[in-house]
């Protein structure tokens, strides 16, 4: 059944620089909880080597990095997308980090289309940056396109261009010819732009439906376009000269002596001038799959499967070092500057919440490696209330208090952490999310603490035939001390509770009925308008009958001193028909 909900979160916790994000959606699930994660402190620096840092940022529930490059000043530039919590959009983003991991600037400040993603960042021949990716005017409506922006290394726009396309293709490569023309490879198409950003042509290639471009190189005489099944050799307008099959995706096409080198899915390949294979190196025994590679100073730098490989153009393995992978760190790109490697990607949780993440390593695999491991060992909900909407008999509000017990499983004292609760399905542009950040903590290794997460409310739960509803609250922790959790397996906990939606609280009970005092401790009075037989039942918030009775008096006194402190319902019925349901708070 469809449910339209709006969530509000209250709580007794420390929040710094945060706010609640609410977005109304319709989904065919019963429970929708979410939390908006705001930017984390950008500086996590190794005092012994300032160039070794771990940087994370989650401006919302869905933030990813797709691409990275080393900046000319020794810093780094990363790009991806994130939820814009002010505009309810998913814009592309480019972020500049200093050589020590400090966030210096973010581009763009605003994006004219509702959604987008930065897929590729490349250096231009004149020392600036090309930023390219996919975009869409709205989450579920056209137009869609590919954007190309040229920006300076301090994040200032030089020019921008958007190509309207038929499909939302990821950009696989941006490269520049000697005359200044720029080529954007997106899906099966090549877009050609002048040095000033003017469109020159769009060329589609006869690829099978899943084939896409992954790399490109402009030589003095022709273009080489790498894709999933090999390389197209074309003229500068994309007219095919020859087709060469390789096990792709063909990435990092680079000129070398008397030929070219590039990498495929598990091979490093060397060819002659005519693209005939002259040598291969299979790295699958070291890195079976899922590696990122770049070319620097006539050698491949490859990271994957906790290995950092250095391979020269003669395909000799210069070094094979191991590195520590931080928790669920999914690496999407690699950049190298001097002896520092930046691995950029996402710290992904099992519920698909993603944090922008970037981490630097030395070529020998040395990195900053804090021992942060925090997890939820208990989650409970109390005071679960179903509130009937007086204007709609099929609409209810739900409320409950949530508590989580946090344990420090690592060796570092935990000073801050984020509690996150999200809906079970992440749907871009139909997202709702909250964050409960905890700071100023002092949780020592091995210690536990129960944290009051606060009262949660879910509004406008639509049920055509109200019955018992089952709700699952999932909660997990992220970014202890601003770092990626080293053991995400214990981060998540869930609890399922039932609410009898047939026993809602009528916010407009029969006006002649009075129940007082409320809150109560020793007794309550039930005052009726006239002497008439009626029955009363006090139930728990889960619908369990606690006390019941009947009376014909216009003022009936009920002893409630045996009830524990908490919230209850009291139902009044006449002739078998329920005429009133009210909340009853026992104060103890």
If asked whether residues 492 and 386 sit together in one domain, one would say: yes
Q: Which of 310, 303, 346, 302 is nearest to 326 (CA)?
A: 346
Q: Is residue 246 part of a domain?
A: yes
Q: Is residue 172 part of a domain?
A: no
If asked whether residues 476 and 553 sit together in one domain, one would say: no
pTM over 0.85: no
Q: Roughly how many angstroms between the first and final C-alpha of the chain, as a whole number?
A: 40
Domain's final residue, options 445, 467, 500: 500
Contact 31, 475 (CB under 8 A): no
If asked whether residues 536 and 477 sit together in one domain, one would say: no
Contact 522, 560 (CB under 8 A): yes
pLDDT tens, N- to C-terminus, the chain (588 residues) = 333 333 333 333 332 223 222 222 222 222 222 223 333 333 344 546 889 999 998 776 678 899 999 999 889 999 999 876 555 578 899 999 999 999 999 998 877 777 889 999 999 999 999 999 998 876 666 788 999 999 999 999 999 999 988 888 899 999 999 999 999 999 999 999 999 999 999 999 988 878 899 999 999 999 999 999 999 999 999 999 999 999 889 999 999 999 999 999 899 999 999 999 999 999 999 998 889 999 999 999 999 999 999 999 999 999 999 998 887 888 999 999 988 999 999 887 655 567 899 999 999 999 998 999 999 999 988 887 776 666 666 666 677 888 999 999 999 999 999 888 764 333 334 444 667 888 899 999 999 999 998 777 666 666 665 566 667 788 888 899 999 999 988 888 888 877 766 654 444 344 468 889 988 888 999 988 766 788 999 987 656 788 999 888 888 999 999 998 877 888 888 877 667 777 788 876
**What is the Cα–Cα distance from 476 to 374, expressed in whole angstroms?**
10
Q: Is residue 381 part of a domain?
A: yes
Q: Is residue 4 part of a domain?
A: no
Q: Is residue 335 part of a domain?
A: no
If asked whether residues 386 and 486 sit together in one domain, one would say: yes
Q: Is residue 306 part of a domain?
A: yes
Measured CA distances, 154 to 98, 99, 103, 157, 541 (Å): 11, 14, 12, 9, 57
The boundaries of the domain holding residue 536 are 509-586
Q: What is the CATH number of the domain that holds 456?
A: 2.60.40.10
Beta strands 505-506 and 374-388 are: parallel
If asked whether residues 443 and 383 sit together in one domain, one would say: yes
If asked whether residues 267 and 289 sit together in one domain, one would say: yes
Q: Could you tell me the maximum CA-CA distance found in the chain, to the nearest angstrom? A: 106
If asked whether residues 421 and 396 sit together in one domain, one would say: yes
Domain's final residue, options 469, 500, 531: 500
If asked whether residues 251 and 296 sit together in one domain, one would say: yes
Q: Which of 401, 373, 397 is nearest to 386 (CA)?
A: 397
Q: Is residue 36 part of a domain?
A: no
If asked whether residues 230 and 310 sit together in one domain, one would say: yes
Residue 469's pLDDT is what?
Answer: 65
Neighbours of 216 (CB within 10 A): 24
If asked whether residues 210 and 254 sit together in one domain, one would say: yes
Q: Which residues contact 84 (CB under 8 A, 6 or more apart)?
A: 59, 60, 90, 91
Q: Is residue 233 part of a domain?
A: yes
Is residue 489 classed as helix, strand or coil in its secondary structure? Answer: helix
User: Backbone phi, then psi, for 481, in 5-degree steps?
Assistant: 60, 20
If asked whether residues 536 and 561 sit together in one domain, one would say: yes
Domain's final residue, options 451, 481, 500: 500
If asked whether residues 382 and 484 sit together in one domain, one would say: yes
Q: Which of 69, 213, 169 is nearest to 129 (CA)?
A: 69
Domain count, the chain: 3
């Amino acid at each position: 059944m469809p449910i339209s909900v709006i969530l509000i979160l209250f709580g007794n916790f420390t929040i710094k620089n945060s706010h609640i994000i609410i977005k109304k959606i319709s989904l065919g699930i019963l429970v929708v909880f979410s939390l908006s994660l705001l930017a984390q402190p950008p500086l996590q620096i190794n005092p012994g080597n300032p160039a070794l840092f771990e940087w994370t940022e989650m401006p919302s529930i869905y933030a990813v990095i797709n691409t990275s490059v080393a900046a000319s000043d020794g810093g780094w530039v990363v790009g991806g997308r994130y939820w814009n919590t002010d505009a309810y959009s998913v814009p592309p983003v480019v972020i500049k980090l200093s050589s020590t991991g400090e966030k210096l600037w973010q581009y763009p400040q605003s994006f004219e289309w509702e959604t987008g993603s930065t897929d590729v960042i490349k250096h231009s021949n004149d020392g600036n940056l090309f930023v390219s990716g996919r975009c869409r005017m709205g989450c579920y409506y056209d137009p869609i396109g590919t954007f190309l922006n040229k920006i300076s290394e301090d994040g200032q726009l030089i020019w921008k261009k958007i190509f309207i396309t038929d499909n939302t293709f990821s950009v696989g490569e941006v490269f520049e010819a000697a005359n200044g023309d720029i080529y954007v490879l997106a899906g099966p198409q090549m877009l050609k732009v002048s040095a000033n950003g003017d469109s020159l042509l769009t060329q589609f290639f006869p690829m099978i439906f899943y084939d896409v471009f992954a790399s490109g190189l402009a030589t003095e005489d022709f273009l080489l376009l790498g894709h999933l099944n090999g390389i197209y050799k074309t003229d500068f307008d994309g007219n095919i000269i020859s087709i060469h099959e390789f096990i792709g995706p063909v990435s990092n096409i680079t000129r070398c002596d008397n030929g070219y080198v590039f990498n495929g899915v598990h091979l490093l390949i060397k060819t002659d001038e005519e693209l005939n294979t002259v040598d291969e190196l299979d790295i699958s025994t070291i890195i079976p799959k899922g590696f990122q590679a770049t070319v620097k100073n006539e050698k491949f730098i490859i990271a994957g499967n906790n290995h950092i490989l250095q391979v020269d153009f003669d395909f000799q393995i210069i070094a094979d070092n191991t590195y520590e992978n931080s928790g669920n760190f999914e690496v999407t790109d690699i950049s190298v500057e001097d002896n520092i490697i930046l691995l950029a990607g996402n710290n992904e949780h099992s519920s698909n919440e993603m944090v922008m993440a970037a981490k630097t390593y030395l070529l020998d695999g040395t990195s900053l490696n804090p021992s942060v491991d925090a997890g939820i060992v208990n989650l409970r909900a109390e005071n679960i209330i179903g509130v009937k909407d007086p204007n709609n008999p099929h609409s209810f509000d739900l409320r409950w208090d949530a508590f989580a017990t946090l344990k420090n499983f690592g060796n570092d004292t935990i000073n801050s952490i984020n509690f996150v609760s999200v809906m079970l399905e992440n749907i871009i542009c139909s997202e709702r999310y909250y964050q409960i950040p905890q700071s100023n903590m002092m949780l020592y290794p091995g210690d536990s603490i129960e944290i009051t997460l606060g009262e949660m409310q879910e509004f406008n739960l639509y049920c055509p035939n109200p019955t018992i509803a089952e709700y699952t609250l999932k909660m997990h922790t992220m970014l202890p001390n601003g770092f990626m959790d080293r053991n995400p397996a214990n981060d998540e906990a869930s609890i399922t509770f039932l609410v009898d939606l047939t026993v809602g609280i009528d916010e407009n009970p029969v006006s002649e009925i009075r129940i007082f005092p409320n809150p109560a401790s020793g007794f309550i009075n039930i005052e009726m308008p006239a002497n008439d037989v009626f029955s009363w039942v006090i139930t728990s918030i889960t619908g369990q009958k606690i006390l019941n009775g009947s009376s014909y008096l216009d003022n009936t006194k009920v002893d409630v001193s045996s009830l524990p402190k908490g919230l209850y319902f009291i139902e009044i019925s006449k002739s078998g028909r329920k005429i009133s349901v009210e909340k009853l708070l026992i104060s103890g």
